Each structure stands twice: as structure tokens, then as C-alpha cells.
Structure 1
Amino acid sequence: MLVGGTGNLGLRIARALAARGANVLALARQGGDTAALADTGVSVEKIDFDDEQSLRRTLDGASCVISALNGLEDTIIGRQSRVLDAAVVAGVPRFIPSDYSLDFTKTKPGRNRNLDLRRRFMAKVDAAPIRATSILNGAFADLLAGQAPIVLPGPRIVLHWGSPDQLLDFTTKEDVAAYAAAAALDPDTPRTLRIAGDSVSPRDLAATMQLLTGRRFRLAKPGGVPVLSAMIRLTRTLAPQPGAVFPAWQGMQYLRDMMDGTGKLEPLDNDRYPEINWTKARQVLAGAMAMKRL
């Protein structure tokens, strides 16, 4: 059973599950657009997530519920909790929550809004009589193609706010989806699985860009983590956007947890499914250059 299958990651998980021959039912909100799921090879059912009895009946017989929901409190805590509660009542043995992030179990509460929501939901999952598995994957490597303010091709700079040798975990959405699908079909998963398609430092990224372009990329540190924290507070004051899932300051909070090393993933469970070929940061950057996004 897949929840959140219409999102960017959810669609990839749907395809990965279908590729493994899984019998998948993707649940979507009534009135939601499910056209993108049409070519994934999974069945789709629209449902009222506020109807507890209907949700329970739909989940009856499922071997695993995998969530790819994305949003703020009403989604990560509200809707996901309703799915969890229905899964427990229906006797579903396993649940994979929508965690897909750096290791928020090691970060400080109050420093990252979206990770705080996942921390709250983790406490709810751990209190429920169901086997849960969180998949933690660092940052999506796809963001290196331009969205993450790290590699700046114009001025040929790689930014960092901590040590230039701090390893940063990146995993492409495609690889996360492949791993999540494998985990959903694996009855013996542990409570947490940590993966990283690549772990590279800002210094590594600068060297990679120099190799790809033939031009030198400089490392630049516009202040340490305290400066980044001040920038976060200022940005949140000037452009709060409380209803946005990924406002600028939220991305900066995530970057802080990477740059100071608190969200570093270790040990890694990459080898659990040896059939997965991990995409490296260099491949992402080279692909972005070929598409002229960098």
C-alpha cells in the first residue's frame, strides 16, 4: 500500500515497486489528480482520509504501508497519523513513514521545522503496535543540479559554512525510491536504514567541478554556522511563508544540519540490497551540465 504516490518521490516509489513485481495499491485524496500514476503499473484508489472505517477497510490485508507524504503538520502529523492508526486497526504488520532525510535522530529539536515534524511522528510510530522502518538518505542529490546553494557555476564557487572537508550525504530520488521499494518487500528490515548514494565534502565538489569543466572552482566560506543561523533568523523574519513546505529559510535549516555534521548518516546500510547501483555526485553534476542547468 502506497500513500503519497502522486508526489515526485512517490511516483518514483510506485514505479520501483511495480518494477519489482509488487502488487501495489496507491491511495490518493478524493478530488486529487492521479493522472501521473496511470503509467506506473500500480492500482489507484481515491479515498477520504478522514473516513476511519473506509480507510481501515482499504488497508485490510496489506503487508506493508509505505508513506511518501510531503507537507506540513496537517499532512506529516495529521493525515499520516490517520493512516498509521488505520493500519494498526487493520492489522498491517509493517509501516514505512515519510522520513527520507538526514539523520534527524541526532539533530537538536527546534532547529529545523520539517525535521521536528518527522521527530514528532517518529515518537507516535514508536508507541504504536506496528513494525516501522525509517529510511534516512541525507539530501536529495538532484538538488546539486542547481537548487541547493552549494555549487555556484557562474562565479565558479563551492560554498560551505563549516569545514571544507565535512562529508555531506546525497542520494538521488531515483535511488531512494529503488531502496524504499526493496525495503517495503523485505520483511526483516530494522527500525532505521541509513543510505547515501555519495558522501562528498565541499572540497570534493570543487575538485569534481574543476575536473568536469576544466576550470578552477574556489571554496568560499561566507561565515561559519553561527552566521548561517543568523541568516536563517533574518530570512524567516523578512519572508516567513509559514504555509510553504520549503521556504528559503527551511532549506537553509537543512543545509545547517548538513554543514555542521550533526545530520551525518552512519553507519550506512547501502549494501543491504546489492542490486542497487548508487548514483554519484559527479554523475548528477555532469548530467546537469549536459542539460545546461549548471
Structure 2
Amino acid sequence: MARTIKNVAIAGASGNVGARVLDALLKLDFNVTVLSRNSKPFPAAARVKVVDFTSKESLSAALAGQDAVIDTTFSPEIETPLRLIDAAAESGVYRFITSDFGLDPELPGIHDMPVFGRKKASYEAVKNHAAQNHLTYTLVACGAFLDWSLSSGFSGLNFQEKKAFIFGDGNNVVPWTTLEDVGIATANVLVHPEETLNRPVYVHSAFLSQNQIFDATKQVLGSEGWDVSYNDMKPLLDNALADLNAGRISASVFEVQIQYCLATKALAHPWAKDDSSLLGLKEWDSEKVKALIQTIAHK
């Protein structure tokens, strides 16, 4: 019988994902403690504990009495999530949700990508603790962030300059989830602890190819005047990995790895098992996607 979860600690609550998870937790009336490096303002309904993320002792003390911990931190280093997992196990936390929020962690090749090294280390750590009955875990696989990818240009589409950088042939269909939907699904994991026990959960707002998103964009912004390029992603991946190995670190080095996965059916495709309805999500139709594009393009 799964334990009822009421007290929840969250790390990274000021970030893109964390802020949405925090909002969803509060709407579901969890007792929420924000773990923060400093006393920055958070919603009044959340309790804030200032912790030293470099100290397992500081984290363990902050996690006393917590039923669940959600890691939404996104820094590149691996030590913080591992320290948080160890502290949770030491403090008797029941459920740990790792900072995954990406592609299917069970697919061969995903966690072999250097960009996902942090996610891989966290997954191995929670599995090891679960095997020793120290805690239980859940990972949230959501594909790519739909709204963030459109607004940041990560989707390959530049609305202002009307440029489209297509990954491969653009036809690979993959899961896309908005940040708000990621927050809702993550909070609802804790409402369904038995069904989400010791496994990844798989959610989406929409299953779309890059070409389908581009077609929707042209319907919103017009089809004339676009500068479109179709790009073989393998040489770009090889160059990115070479740069990484040579210590030439940039955002694009990491972005290309993920974009390569999104173009590759073996690494990214619609979920065989989907937990969206269990976790409170409804699939978006094309009109809702176009409305999102309209909103982002005219900000």
C-alpha cells in the first residue's frame, strides 16, 4: 500500500519547470517547502528553507518530515542532484522525483548522450536507493517543452526573422509538453503514488513533427518569405561532441545533442504507454497549438 503524500519539498522552484511545479503543488493543497540557496520571495503559501546545496547535512536537516522531494534544478553539474537524493534517502523521504523532464530514459542511446549525463546519474542513484528500500522514485518524461522551445528558438523556428532550421527531414513525430502541463503532471504524480511507483511516467500535450509545427506556424504567420534549411543532424552532432571533448563548451553544443535526438525515430517517438490522462492532462488539438504560436509570436 502506497503512502499518502502530504509534505513535499521542491528544489529549483524559481526555474522554468520548478515555478510551474510549485504552482501546481499549491493548487493541490500540498504542504510545500521550497529549498532555496537564498531567501528570495516565493508564493506565501509555500514555506521557504534556505539550505546549503553543497552540504548533505544541511539538506538532510531540511528534509526531515518530508514525504516527497521534487528536483527541478537544471545546472550542468552532477553533484547537487546526487547529494539531494542521498539526503532524501537518509531522511526517510518516501518519493523522489528526479530532474529528468525529457526523452524516454529507458531507450538505449538517450542517457548515453553527454547532455543527459546528469539525468542518467540521478536515475541510477534513485534506482539503487529503491533497490535497498531507502526510497521510491518517479521520473517524468515529457519530450521537449513546447512553449519554451517555440519562444526560445530551440524548436528551430524564428518567428521574427521567418527562419526555419529543420532537423533532418522534419517528419519525425515526438512528444511536446508545455511547462504548465509538465507542472500539473508532476504534482499529480504525488496524488497517484501507487500507479507511478518506481518508474518513468510518460506525458505529452501533443505529438507533433517539426514540419507539423512549421505548417501550423505558416497558417498563423503566413507562408511567404520563409528562409528554410533542412539539416543533416549527424555531422552537427559529431561537431558538437568534438567541441565538448575539446572543452569548447557552449549552449549550442548541448542543444544540438537534443535536436539530433528529436530528429531520430529510434531516440524520440510517441510514447508506447502514455500517462497523460492519469496525471491530469488533455491532449491539445491543432487550434490550441496555433493559438500558442500566435501568442508567442506577438509578444
TM-score (norm 2): 0.83
Name 1:72's counterpart in structure 2.
Answer: 76
- Checking the alignment, whether the CA contact within 8 Å between 1:206 and 1:219 is kept in structure 2 is no
- Checking the alignment, whether the CA contact within 8 Å between 1:15 and 1:40 is kept in structure 2 is no
Aligned partners of 1:147 and 1:214: how far apart in 2?
18
- Checking the alignment, whether the CA contact within 8 Å between 1:107 and 1:263 is kept in structure 2 is no
Aligned partners of 2:55 and 2:122: how far apart in 1?
20
- Checking the alignment, whether the CA contact within 8 Å between 1:104 and 1:115 is kept in structure 2 is no
Distance 1:115 1:27, change over 3 A: same
Deviation of the 1:237 alpha carbon: 7.8
- Checking the alignment, whether the CA contact within 8 Å between 2:276 and 2:282 is kept in structure 1 is no
Name 1:194's counterpart in structure 2.
Answer: 202
Deviation of the 1:40 alpha carbon: 5.6
Counterpart residue type for residue 209 of structure 2: S
SS at match of 1:192: strand
Deviation of the 1:179 alpha carbon: 1.0
SS at match of 1:271: coil
Name 1:124's counterpart in structure 2.
Answer: 125
Say whether residues 1:152 and 2:128 are aligned partners. Answer: no
Deviation of the 1:8 alpha carbon: 2.4
Distance 1:181 1:109, change over 3 A: closer
Name 1:56's counterpart in structure 2.
Answer: 60
Deviation of the 1:216 alpha carbon: 4.5
Aligned partners of 2:242 and 2:117: how far apart in 1?
20
- Checking the alignment, whether the CA contact within 8 Å between 2:33 and 2:49 is kept in structure 1 is yes
Aligned partners of 1:106 and 1:217: how far apart in 2?
39
Counterpart residue type for residue 84 of structure 1: I
SS at match of 2:175: strand
Name 2:139's counterpart in structure 1.
Answer: 134
SS at match of 2:248: coil
Distance 1:239 1:56, change over 3 A: closer
TM-score (norm 1): 0.84
- Of the three residues 214, 219, 235, the one matched with 2:222 is 214
Name 1:260's counterpart in structure 2.
Answer: 264
CA deviations over 1:195-244 (Å, ceiling 9, x no partner): 11111112212321221123248694533232322442566589823xx6
Distance 1:212 1:99, change over 3 A: same
Counterpart residue type for residue 151 of structure 2: A
- Checking the alignment, whether the CA contact within 8 Å between 1:225 and 1:260 is kept in structure 2 is no
CA deviations over 1:47-76 (Å, ceiling 9, x no partner): 223443443233222111111111112xxx
Structure 2: gaps spanning 5 or more residues:
1-8
- Checking the alignment, whether the CA contact within 8 Å between 1:63 and 1:92 is kept in structure 2 is yes
Distance 1:238 1:283, change over 3 A: farther
- Checking the alignment, whether the CA contact within 8 Å between 1:170 and 1:198 is kept in structure 2 is yes
Percent sequence identity over aligned pairs: 20
Aligned partners of 1:206 and 1:165: how far apart in 2?
11
Structure 1: gaps spanning 5 or more residues:
none
Name 2:3's counterpart in structure 1.
Answer: none
Name 1:163's counterpart in structure 2.
Answer: 169
Counterpart residue type for residue 94 of structure 1: R
Name 1:22's counterpart in structure 2.
Answer: 30
Name 1:269's counterpart in structure 2.
Answer: 275
Aligned partners of 2:85 and 2:112: how far apart in 1?
26
Name 2:4's counterpart in structure 1.
Answer: none
Distance 1:52 1:164, change over 3 A: closer
- Checking the alignment, whether the CA contact within 8 Å between 1:102 and 1:138 is kept in structure 2 is yes
Please report the RMSD computed on the Cα atoms of aligned residues, expressed in angstroms: 2.6
SS at match of 2:153: coil
Distance 1:111 1:180, change over 3 A: same
- Checking the alignment, whether the CA contact within 8 Å between 1:152 and 1:158 is kept in structure 2 is yes
- Of the three residues 272, 279, 296, the one matched with 1:288 is 296
Deviation of the 1:183 alpha carbon: 1.0
- Checking the alignment, whether the CA contact within 8 Å between 1:3 and 1:68 is kept in structure 2 is yes
Aligned partners of 1:95 and 1:109: how far apart in 2?
21
Aligned partners of 1:51 and 1:215: how far apart in 2?
54
Aligned partners of 2:165 and 2:224: how far apart in 1?
14
